[in-house]
Amino acid sequence: MQGFSSSFLIFFYQVALGGLFALAATPFQELDRAFYKSTGGVLCLIAVLGLWGKSSFYTYSLSTDFTLIVALELLFHILFVLWFIVYIASLWGNRQSLRARSFAGAILSGLAGLIFSAHSFYSAPMASLEAILYPASFFLSALLLGSVTVGMLVGHWYLIDTGQSLDPFVKIFKFFVIALIAQSIFFAIFPVAISLAGSAPNVAALAALWHKHSTLLMLRIIVGQVAPLVLSWMIWRTLLIPHTMAATGLFYIALLGVFVGEIVGRQILALTSLPF
């Protein structure tokens, strides 16, 4: 079981990686390159902060409790940041092949690093249900965090480029809703799967979650799932008008709900080692 600091720092990694997936869902030909420079720059800075924040954890782990998993996590985390920086730099030039390779490199190294990060939070063997559920949970959180962040920034871009087509906003909104629904379904399946086929420590942790931390769990579901689902309906109704400024304001509120929900989820992860 890791402390809250290690659990929380995964948050930065997930925002940056999920943000890249969300950028991939936007129509590149319909948004100005300046949008990708500014949005990508923000996400890259978040990735760098995440790596910097975990540097003491990596240093301590490699010097006192060296494991191959931690070494690989560190390697891919560094590669993720480096590829991300190359991608941002490529946006100032016209080398499209470099831009495509660096974007793909950041995505692939980020995914690999996230899988190894997830592995460090459970003690079950590699050939176990947890080896699938934990990376899936981390990945879905990344998609949700990234999509709500990029969605808010896309909406903000409409305040700058008032003549922009609504299609990019609608596409990132749909990406956000799909990620939110997918995570909600996962949260419904996860307890059942762990109860039926999980390792003994996780079955015990699940029971402890119900009895000792049920308030945290309810807060996580209401703030991080129910409220954003309601807001997503409101955003959609606003986009039908269309009123991009109001939709952007609602995206700000949805971002707050998702972020608070995910931070509460990191506290649950630190307390129980369960990826809610």
Where are the domains positioned within the chain? Answer: 4-272
Mean pLDDT of 68-76: 85
Q: Does domain 4-272 have CATH number 1.10.10?
A: no
Question: Tokens representing 234?
Answer: 């409101």
Question: Tokens representing 183?
Answer: 């995570």
Interval 173-193: pLDDT, tens: 999 999 999 999 999 999 999
Tell me what pLDDT residue 47 has: 94
Cα separation of 136 and 149, whole Å?
20
Contacts by 78-82, CB closer than 8 A, 24 or more apart:
78/51, 79/105, 79/109, 79/113, 80/13, 80/16, 80/17, 80/47, 80/106, 80/109, 80/110, 80/113, 81/44, 81/47, 81/48, 81/51
pLDDT band at 4 (very low <50, low <70, confident <90, very high): low
Cα separation of 274 and 82, whole Å?
30
| pTM for this predicted structure | 0.92
Whether residue 123 has pLDDT greater than 90:
no
pLDDT band at 126 (very low <50, low <70, confident <90, very high): low
Interval 107-116: pLDDT, tens: 999 999 999 8
Cα separation of 16 and 183, whole Å?
18
Mean pLDDT of 26-52: 89
Phi-psi region of 95 (alpha: psi -120 to 50; beta: other; left: phi over 0): beta
